[in-house]
Structure 1
Amino acid sequence: MEISTVTIPVSDQETALAFYTGPLGMGIRTDNPFPMGRWLTVAPEGSTTTLLLASWFPEMAPIGGLILTAPDLDDLAGRLRSAGTTADGPADAPWGRQLLFQDPFGNGYVVSQS
């Protein structure tokens, strides 16, 4: 068994797409019509797990604690801040280096150094 897709609640798919493909550098995996909007998934290059940017769950609370990895946290923090996103870190912790941020919809992420 494998996790293939994680649903990320967003209120605006265009804004979400710009954020996830812009400062986060993810690629579009699918962008297809869907009865309730678009079936829009993104993922980092080489990842088998995609993020579904879903706007049809207005009652779904933002998620928190999704953990990503990146090879250069300083570069990622700079890209996030340049895009107007508040990023906490990178900082060293007993378990490794990490960066914390939220997307424009309040979904919280932890990025650890890969």
Structure 2
Amino acid sequence: MLISTIATVTVPVADQERALAFYTGVLDFEVRTDNPFPMGRWLTVAPKGGETTLLLASWFPGMAPIGGLVVTAPDLDALAARLRANETAFEGPSDEPWGRQLLFHDPFGNGYVVSQA
């Protein structure tokens, strides 16, 4: 095996503070690193207990939002309620042939597919 883990996924954001508020306040992620970096901050977040982190990077102004990042959640109805309460648009939850899912975008256009864990 040459590669064993996906450690970090870079998520382009225009405003790291706003991104931090969304990922920690709305999605209940935890901060893994928040260090000075020559181009801003090296700011990573992850679901509590999760292994893969998201690097909230503001130094790629031309980078297009990512789409279709697939994550899991134990309770899609609770996630939908949290997104609704925070005025975040979403679709679902819906029952699909492959399982139950919900779709949403973060404030910067990065798209997520959430499947029921």
TM-score clears 0.5: yes
Question: What is the rounded CA distance, in whole Å, between the counterparts of 2:55 and 2:100 in structure 1?
Answer: 27
Q: Provide the residue aligned with 2:112 in structure 1.
A: 109
Q: Is 1:61 matched with 2:64?
A: yes
Question: What is the rounded CA distance, in whole Å, between the counterparts of 2:45 and 2:70 in structure 1?
Answer: 15
Kept in 2: contact 1:21–1:27 (CA 8 A): yes
| Structure 1 portions without partners, runs of 5+ | none
Amino acid at match of 2:92: G
Residue 21 of structure 1 is aligned with which of 21, 24, 35? 24
Residue 6 of structure 1 is aligned with which of 4, 9, 21? 9
SS in structure 2 at match of 1:22: helix
| Structure 2 portions without partners, runs of 5+ | none
**Structure 2 counterparts to residues 33-72 of structure 1, below 5 A:** 33-72=36-75
- How big is each residue's C-alpha offset from its partner over 1:26-70, in whole Å with a ceiling of 9 and x where there is no partner? 000000000000000000011110000000000000000000100
Q: Once superposed, what is the RMSD of the aligned Cα atoms?
A: 0.5
Q: 4+ runs of 1 displaced by more than 4 Å?
A: none
Question: What is the rounded CA distance, in whole Å, between the counterparts of 1:61 and 1:102 in structure 2?
Answer: 13
Question: What is the rounded CA distance, in whole Å, between the counterparts of 2:72 and 2:33 in structure 1?
Answer: 22
Question: What is the rounded CA distance, in whole Å, between the counterparts of 1:64 and 1:19 in structure 2?
Answer: 17
Count, aligned residues = 114
Q: Provide the residue aligned with 1:90 in structure 2.
A: 93
Question: What is the rounded CA distance, in whole Å, between the counterparts of 2:80 and 2:17 in structure 1?
Answer: 22
Q: Tell me the TM-score normalised to structure 2 length.
A: 0.96
